[in-house]
A and B are shown apart, each in its own frame.
Chain A
């Protein structure tokens, strides 16, 4: 067949900046490269995403990184189910970082939701970039893998493969295709009792034109999706053999420790490395624009020597900036202008003027670091006009381009080695590239691999932070005490419009924001803008309920008449938590609900406060409507993960700026919850059958408000600033809940 005319289910090349979902032509040269790279003898491609070997094994190429979310498992389940593969014969592999595997579906998925991929709004302002330039991003983010790559690419690829295999078998038997059926990686023909394994048909199938529109299964026909299947990556994660970026190792490897200007963006002025250079194992001290690095034959030696290097950095003018100044700037900017419109409904101004009662409150949340368990690191090996790279990234293809441009190489001469990620949470998304840039510049002068590692202190102080946000909220009521108006003015930057929207039926709404820039670099942090805004809106709706004299649950239910999915998750969570029933003395329950990334999550936190003011979150009951669960165990795991991540932030998370730099250093002052603070977590999956929602992020946003809403009941203290640890909690007579 003519390869150039061949069409693919999933194109990685999107032409002319348009969005092509489903079928699109792939540039033939790209396809040849992939075939040459991946197909050894006896192996045939049916699509870019699936490989069927003659021995009947199926390999699913996953164009995403595994950060712990079990994505290899979920995506290969989707492809395998559609192709009726025998799950025992299916393995998943990370797709190589070549253009063919670039993540077109993810980009398109976001583009259709937000216009421009929200998680790409990094420090350089991706909104200015044309989506056409973004199609080469092989990224994992925005809870998107299963929703877009899975629902579109994997399922279609699997279904098409199955159809092609049936077609091949039918031709061989010379029978109509509809007399054949598939089961466990075989095509059968009932009348003749004959069968072929997929592997036997693979060579022929590779010659076929994929169907234009493969028929997908109905959920009732699924036999792999919906099952709690074990993840293949678990065994290697319990015996120490899973390799993360930081584990790249060779005998001749060198190690670099780095000091980047503590005030963001300051240039290096002078360095005294005399003492460092005299120490054992030190190879070189490298001065970069904004940093100095020590390269040694052991990381500890490099770090110890770096501690003995004295540096002077240029003044940037930000040396006096403290967090209090930043929040004062937010207040000032909010007061100064009416901001940009996010939503105007009804006539909020008029309703405000005519109100019989109003309440208002100012909320704020601090900057947060990602603090992935694996600190930032990157190993680059320049040799023979090429480079090899090992780094834990949510975006292999982007990094390949980045290293190539810094190293003056052709992209095709840069090889990305797939590794596991010790957490991502947005830190390893495109444009958050300081570890890559520095590591590449450091390694450039060597012909052996050089591994640059951020210490935990570097990792926390040289992050791209979850933006700090201030939000001023007002509500107005009519004579009967009904809420008529919702007004919200908050500070940007915003990455995904919509996080500040509320589902509640309040007739007049005015939601606007003011971009208030600071010198602190910011980027997406698990759930993007939702972690801040859900705290604001789900707290303030409780304040409104309180003013109206209504119980927070009933009040929400009343205002959610138009949102049956929200009502359902609230109902399920409340019933399971025993909401409204008697609780042990000193316990209270707080509620929050939020839709993000296509999933709707209700959380109910049961909280107590001891006589010493000690807060304890005993139990979190969560109901999630993610449309449908591909792997219910993974859903549960991601929900637990999201809640604990959000709870660490709510209780302890705070990055403070003092004299232009980050105060926090390491885990003691940027703390995380451990076993002792871990609540019992109950997860209920509500299968609405709606479009698939994301999983990696939606459980994070509601937890802060769920906890502070409970604290209010116990103390009468309305927590409007996070983290909670900054507040002295004192139990009072419980606030009555009607």
Chain B
């Protein structure tokens, strides 16, 4: 039995201990905002937060997140902005992504946004080197120049 919380909802599932979190989220819970890109922690498309920290869910067995709080892209605004009636619909990072029209195909962006959110939580004013070092997500469409601009707009905020 695996017990964990996703986006504030408690789950208890009878699944194999070694099933990767990614496939639990996608195929067992039907939450499809978290993407499959490589399956070997090489691209970042599957990034989610486990207890607030960005991890690549394709290589995290479900047994490793026992009792953890997991946030996926669908639950990010709720986790950060709360659920009061006046809470903003998008997080600052998501809003910056809209302002800078970052996504192209968009497929990598769930993971990108989860990774950037974690980066900025720990380092609100990252240098270019910090960004380069801590953000290794792949965007096949080449949104990376805009990702940098959007991050800078938040850092300067």
Interface residues of A, Cβ cutoff 8 Å to B: 66-70, 230-231, 233-244, 246-247, 249, 251, 255, 280, 297-301, 371-375, 420-425, 453, 455-456, 633, 637, 640-645, 666-668, 672-676, 678, 680-681
* In the complex with contacts A241-B74, A421-B105, A642-B27 CB distance below 8 A: no
Contacts of B135 in A (CB 8 A): 674-675
Contacts of B104 in A (CB 8 A): 68-70, 637, 641
Does B155 sit at the interface, judged by CB under 8 A?
Answer: no
**Closest partner residue, chain B, to A372 (CB atom):** B140
Does B4 sit at the interface, judged by CB under 8 A?
Answer: no
Residue in B77, B101, B109 with the greatest tally of chain A CB atoms within 10 Å: B101
Are B107 and A423 in contact (CB-based, < 8 A)? yes
Name B's interface SS: loop
- Given B31, B73, B140, B146, which contacts A672 in the complex, CB threshold below 8 Å? B140
**Closest partner residue, chain B, to A647 (CB atom):** B142
**Closest partner residue, chain B, to A250 (CB atom):** B30
* In the complex with contacts A235-B98, A241-B74, A421-B105, A644-B144 CB distance below 8 A: yes
- Given A238, A301, A643, which contacts B94 in the complex, CB threshold below 8 Å? A238
- Excluding A301-B16, A637-B146, 7 further A-B contacts by CB distance (< 8 Å) are A241-B33, A244-B107, A373-B35, A373-B45, A455-B39, A645-B141, A678-B142
Are B98 and A249 in contact (CB-based, < 8 A)? no
Contacts of B23 in A (CB 8 A): 298-300
- Given A67, A238, A681, which contacts B105 in the complex, CB threshold below 8 Å? A67
11 contacts between A and B (CB under 8 A): A238-B97, A238-B109, A239-B77, A247-B32, A301-B19, A374-B105, A641-B141, A644-B142, A667-B37, A674-B138, A675-B137
Complex interface residues of chain B between 95 and 151 (CB less than 8 A to chain A) = 97-98, 101-110, 113, 131-133, 135-148
- Given A633, A643, A668, which contacts B142 in the complex, CB threshold below 8 Å? A643
Interface residues of B, Cβ cutoff 8 Å to A: 16, 19-20, 23, 26-28, 30-40, 42-43, 45, 72-74, 76-77, 90, 94, 97-98, 101-110, 113, 131-133, 135-148
- Given A241, A374, A642, A678, which contacts B107 in the complex, CB threshold below 8 Å? A374
* In the complex with contacts A242-B106, A249-B30, A453-B36 CB distance below 8 A: yes
Are B32 and A375 in contact (CB-based, < 8 A)? no
Contacts of A70 in B (CB 8 A): 104
* Cα distance, A238 to B99, chains bound together (Å): 11
Contacts of B27 in A (CB 8 A): 255, 297-300
Name A's interface SS: loop
Are A373 and B37 in contact (CB-based, < 8 A)? yes
**Closest partner residue, chain B, to A645 (CB atom):** B142
Residue in A66, A234, A239 with the greatest tally of chain B CB atoms within 10 Å: A239
Contacts of B73 in A (CB 8 A): 239-240
* In the complex with contacts A238-B90, A674-B136, A667-B43 CB distance below 8 A: yes
- Given B19, B36, B77, B143, which contacts A641 in the complex, CB threshold below 8 Å? B143
**Closest partner residue, chain A, to B105 (CB atom):** A68
* Cα distance, A644 to B146, chains bound together (Å): 12
Are A673 and B144 in contact (CB-based, < 8 A)? yes
Tell me the minimal C-beta distance from A448 to chain B in angstroms. 14
- Given A236, A641, A675, which contacts B132 in the complex, CB threshold below 8 Å? A675
Contacts of A230 in B (CB 8 A): 98, 101
**Closest partner residue, chain A, to B22 (CB atom):** A300
* Cα distance, A255 to B43, chains bound together (Å): 22
Contacts of B36 in A (CB 8 A): 246, 299, 375, 453
* Cα distance, A242 to B140, chains bound together (Å): 17
Tell me the minimal C-beta distance from B123 to chain A in angstroms. 14
Are A667 and B42 in contact (CB-based, < 8 A)? yes
* Cα distance, A280 to B45, chains bound together (Å): 27
Are B42 and A668 in contact (CB-based, < 8 A)? yes
Are B138 and A666 in contact (CB-based, < 8 A)? no
User: 7 nearest interchain CB pairs?
Assistant: A240-B33, A644-B142, A237-B106, A68-B105, A422-B107, A68-B104, A240-B73
Are A676 and B140 in contact (CB-based, < 8 A)? no
* Cα distance, A301 to B19, chains bound together (Å): 8
Residue in B31, B74, B98 with the greatest tally of chain A CB atoms within 10 Å: B98
Are B103 and A300 in contact (CB-based, < 8 A)? no
Contacts of B141 in A (CB 8 A): 68, 373, 423, 641, 644-645
* In the complex with contacts A239-B90, A645-B142, A423-B42 CB distance below 8 A: no
* Cα distance, A282 to B147, chains bound together (Å): 41
Are B72 and A240 in contact (CB-based, < 8 A)? yes
Tell me the minimal C-beta distance from B138 to chain A in angstroms. 5
**Closest partner residue, chain A, to B93 (CB atom):** A238
Are B74 and A239 in contact (CB-based, < 8 A)? yes
**Closest partner residue, chain A, to B19 (CB atom):** A300
Are A675 and B144 in contact (CB-based, < 8 A)? yes
Are B30 and A68 in contact (CB-based, < 8 A)? no
- Given A231, A373, A678, which contacts B145 in the complex, CB threshold below 8 Å? A678
